[in-house]
Each structure stands twice: as structure tokens, then as C-alpha cells.
Amino acid sequence: MQRKRIFLSPPHMGGTELDYVHQAFDDNYIAPIGPQLAEFERRFAELTGFSHAVGLASGTAALHLGLRCFGADEGDVVVASSLTFIGSVTPALFRKAEPVFIDSDAESWNMDPVLLAEALEALNAEGRRVAAVVPTDIYGQSCDLDRILDVCRPYDIPVLCDSAEAVGTRYKGRHAGCGARAATYSFNGNKIITTSGGGMFCTDDEKLAEKVRWLSQQARDPGAHYEHSTYGYNYRLSNVLAGIGIGQLEVLQERVERRRAIFDFYVRELGGLPGVSFMPEAPWNTATRWLSVILFDKASGTDPETVRLALEEHNIESRPVWKPMHMQPLFEGVRMFGGAVSEDLFRRGLCLPSGTAMGDDDLALVAETVRGCMA
Ligand SMILES: *Cc1c(COP(=O)(O)O)cnc(C)c1O
């Protein structure tokens, strides 16, 4: 019998999730909204330090609602990280706004604040309205949010931090995303904690949180009948799934520690080899190492695709670094500030299996297989 596949980042239940789901069943709160959702939101707000958290169907939905509330519309610009997952930037397209991309800095792989300043100056000079800046916190590492906020402040541009990959990340002693006008998080199946599918919109602005909640439930105006003065979406997180989320939050810290230990293991086993390096940890944060990313340069004698195929031979899943948005056919011709850093990371980077349920023997097999490519 073949050994079970080692996935890149599969769900890892803690044990109490089903108890909360059972509670929802016992009280017949299978309906979308109920006490599990309220409790999940309360605990998530507590974790992140935001005063309001709204549970949503996905991280993508959370970003969409954020951009809608910030008035992103046709003719406006949304400035985003190029090195990110597509869900970070499709919401700008949903709003018919024009995405403009910013390269990563080498220190954190996140939005480069210097290039952001250049972009905002140029766009301002052209009289363009920037509806929002949406920096990603990549692979569990926080962007330098304070510097990004400083750059945006003179223009009064709201920062909508895409912290989908950074649940559990600490930035300068606070949670990743905290300090932005709003931040969004994802509980998709591959993230550090999961509700099967889900997301969260967080903000300190009560009116904004209320509007997001209202829009996520079809924007129904007060009254017994269904009255609508604008359109909304069906974007609320299910109460049943929120039950999974409560249980997952109880093991988040353990998951962070295990992800970091997995990263440290790879560094120990492979970091000394010629031409091999790993994703840096920027001094301003404690990253979760949601995914462990390894880089190969010429001296390694191999490349990410060769290693990926070798791992696949052993039924082990790995994945290239996100292909930058400015290199995507979908965004051909879109404006880009910089580009060399994210292009290089895409060419040289591979995400290694990072699932917290992996045993040490699995980890050893991954390391051995990678090493075998470099003989
Ligand atoms: C996962 C992810 C999203 C989207 O989250 P979903 O819950 O899958 O919609 C957005 N941005 C980034 C950077 C992500 O990794």
C-alpha cells in the first residue's frame, strides 16, 4: 500500500471543533446566523485586537466588501502587492477598479513601502483616485504596516490589509493587520486554521463593520417586508462553520509554534547546502511560517521545478511561489512599480510541505528528497 500523500498544508483539527458544531446542531442553529458565529467573531476580535470582526464566507468576500465600502469604482485605482494570491486582487476587478501593482522588498517579500510612495506620488500627480491600498502579508509574514500607513496618511488613502495568510502573526507586539483601517483574514482549507471555508473582516470603525455586516446579508433595509435601496451579497459565514473556527482558535498558538518548528527543521537540514536559502523573517514581526519557502540559486545545481517533480515522485505535494500578478496573462499591461524582486522569488522559490499534522518521519523524507536533487 502506498504511503498517504503528504499535502502542502492540509486542515488540522484540534479536537474541540466538533463539540462546537454539535452545540449548533443541538440548538438547531443550522441557520446561517447564531451563537457560534457571534462567539467566533468575539474571540477573533480579541485575538487580533480589533474592536469589530465580521465572519464572512471567504477572505475574498471580505476584501470585496472592504473595497465596496471604500467606494472603489470604475475609474479608481486599487494599489496591491504583486506577489500574492489571486483572491487578493480579484475584488478590485469585481468593482471594475484598476489594479496597480507594487513589487516586494527583499527583506520581507511584502509590499515595498518605497515603491508604494513612488506609486502614490505618480498617481496623485495624474489626479487618479486611489480607493485603497491592499498590502498582502505573505506566507505568514507581516508587511511593514506602520511604514505603509505612513506613506498613505498624507493622501488619506485607507489601508485594507490582506492578512489572509497571517492569522497568528505578531507585528511589533500586535496582531498582523491591526492598525489598518481594516484587515481581512481567511480560513480556507489550506490556511493555518480553517473553517473549511471562511473569512473575517476586522476594523475598529463601528459604522464600517455594520455596513460590511449589512452588505453581507443582502443589504436589507429596516421593515417587515424586504426593502432594498441598494444591492448586497450573500457573504455571511455559516454558524455551523463558525463552530469549527472556535475550536481552531483554541489550538492556533500550538499551530504557530509547530509551523515555526517545521521551518527551523528545514533550515537545519538544508540551509547549509550551497545555493540554498530560505524566506527571511523581517525584524518587525514574528512570522507564523504558514508555508516554509526555500530558494535555489545556480550554486545549488538544481531548481524548484526539478525538486517539485522529485517530491511528487514520493507522493509529496509542494508548490512554486505565487506567480506575481504583473506576470499573469489576466493582468497583461497593468501598471507595475518595480518587479525584479517578486520575479526572482517566483523563479527560485518553492513552498515545502508545512502541514502541522506532519510527523518527523515525513519531514525527514521531504528533506532527504530535496537533498537528493542536489547531488
Ligand atoms: C487565501 C488567500 C486569500 C483568499 O482567501 P479565501 O478565503 O480563499 O477567499 C486572499 N489573499 C491571500 C493572500 C490568500 O492567501
9 Cβ below 6 A of ligand 1: no
Percent of the chain with pLDDT over 70: 99
pLDDT 10s digits, 29-66: 998 789 999 999 999 999 999 999 999 999 999 999 99
Contact call for residues 115 and 98 (beta carbons, < 8 A): no
Probe ligand 1: pick from 85, 138, 141, 161, max atoms within 8 Å of CB? 85
What is the pLDDT at residue 31?
Answer: 80
88 Cβ below 6 A of ligand 1: yes
CA distance 102 to 202: 24
Over residues 350-361, mean pLDDT: 97
Report the separation in Å between the CA atom of 46 and the middle of ligand 1, taken as the mean of its atom positions.
Answer: 21
Over residues 317-335, mean pLDDT: 98
Atom of ligand 1 nearest to the CA of 84: 13
164 Cβ below 6 A of ligand 1: yes
Over 70: is that where the pLDDT of 15 sits? yes
Q: Hey, is 201 helix, strand or coil? A: strand
Over residues 131-140, mean pLDDT: 98
59 Cβ below 6 A of ligand 1: yes
Atom of ligand 1 nearest to the CA of 198: 7
Q: Hey, is 199 helix, strand or coil? A: strand
For every residue of 220-237, DSSP letters joined together read PBSSSS-B-SS---B-BP
Residue minimizing CA distance to atom 8 of ligand 1: 188
pLDDT 10s digits, 106-117: 999 999 999 999
Same fold, 17-249 and 252-374: no
Report the separation in Å between the CA atom of 207 and the middle of ligand 1, taken as the mean of its atom positions.
Answer: 25
Class of domain 252-374: alpha beta
Over 70: is that where the pLDDT of 325 sits? yes
Say which residue, 32 or 247, is predicted with more confidence. Answer: 247
Probe ligand 1: pick from 90, 163, 186, max atoms within 8 Å of CB? 186
Contact call for residues 91 and 67 (beta carbons, < 8 A): yes
162 Cβ below 6 A of ligand 1: yes
What is the pLDDT at residue 1?
Answer: 53
188 Cβ below 6 A of ligand 1: yes
Probe ligand 1: pick from 58, 60, 195, max atoms within 8 Å of CB? 60
- For 375, counting Cβ atoms within 10 Å of its Cβ (0-12 exposed, 13-18 middle, 19+ buried), the class is exposed
pLDDT 10s digits, 274-301: 999 999 999 999 999 999 999 999 999 9
Over residues 122-151, mean pLDDT: 98
Over 80: is that where the pLDDT of 225 sits? yes
Contact call for residues 161 and 132 (beta carbons, < 8 A): no
Q: Which residues contact 284 (CB under 8 A, 6 or more apart)?
A: 108, 142, 144, 146, 171, 172
84 Cβ below 6 A of ligand 1: yes
Whole-prediction pTM: 0.97
Alpha helix ranges (H) inside the chain: 17-26, 35-48, 59-69, 90-94, 113-125, 145-152, 206-215, 239-249, 252-270, 304-313, 340-348, 360-372
Q: In the sheet that 174-175 helps form, which strands lie side by side, from edge to edge?
A: 174-175, 170-171, 285-286
Contact call for residues 138 and 153 (beta carbons, < 8 A): no
Of 373, 365, 370, 368, which is closest to residue 3 (Cα–Cα)? 365
Mean pLDDT of the chain: 97
- Phi and psi (nearest 5°) for 18? -65, -30
Length of the chain: 375
Of 183, 186, 212, which is closest to residue 199 (Cα–Cα)? 186
Report the separation in Å between the CA atom of 57 and the middle of ligand 1, taken as the mean of its atom positions.
Answer: 11
CA distance 130 to 123: 8
Contact call for residues 366 and 311 (beta carbons, < 8 A): yes
What is the pLDDT at residue 3?
Answer: 79
Atom of ligand 1 nearest to the CA of 63: 10
343 Cβ below 6 A of ligand 1: no
Atom of ligand 1 nearest to the CA of 60: 9
Report the separation in Å between the CA atom of 87 and the middle of ligand 1, taken as the mean of its atom positions.
Answer: 5
Instruction: Find cell 537540514 and name the residue.
Output: 269
What is the pLDDT at residue 278?
Answer: 98
* One CATH from 3.40.50.920, 3.30.70.141, 3.40.640.10, 3.40.1160.10 for 17-249: 3.40.640.10
Q: Hey, is 182 helix, strand or coil? A: strand
CA distance 166 to 330: 26
Residue minimizing CA distance to atom 2 of ligand 1: 164
Over residues 91-119, mean pLDDT: 98
Helix/strand/coil percentages in the chain, nearest 5: 40, 20, 40
Domain ranges of the chain: 17-249, 252-374
Of 305, 327, 328, 301, which is closest to residue 318 (Cα–Cα)? 305
pLDDT 10s digits, 145-190: 999 999 999 999 999 999 999 999 999 999 999 999 999 999 999 9
For every residue of 113-124, DSSP letters joined together read HHHHHHHHHHHH
What is the pLDDT at residue 32?
Answer: 75
CA distance 260 to 254: 10
Taking phi over 0 as left and psi of -120 to 50 as alpha, with beta for the rest, 254 belongs to alpha
pLDDT 10s digits, 70-87: 999 999 999 999 999 999
Report the separation in Å between the CA atom of 323 and the middle of ligand 1, taken as the mean of its atom positions.
Answer: 14
Beta strands 292-296 and 77-81, pairing class: unpaired
Other C-beta atoms closer than 10 Å to the C-beta of 40 total: 28
What does the DSSP 8-state code read for residue 184?
A: E
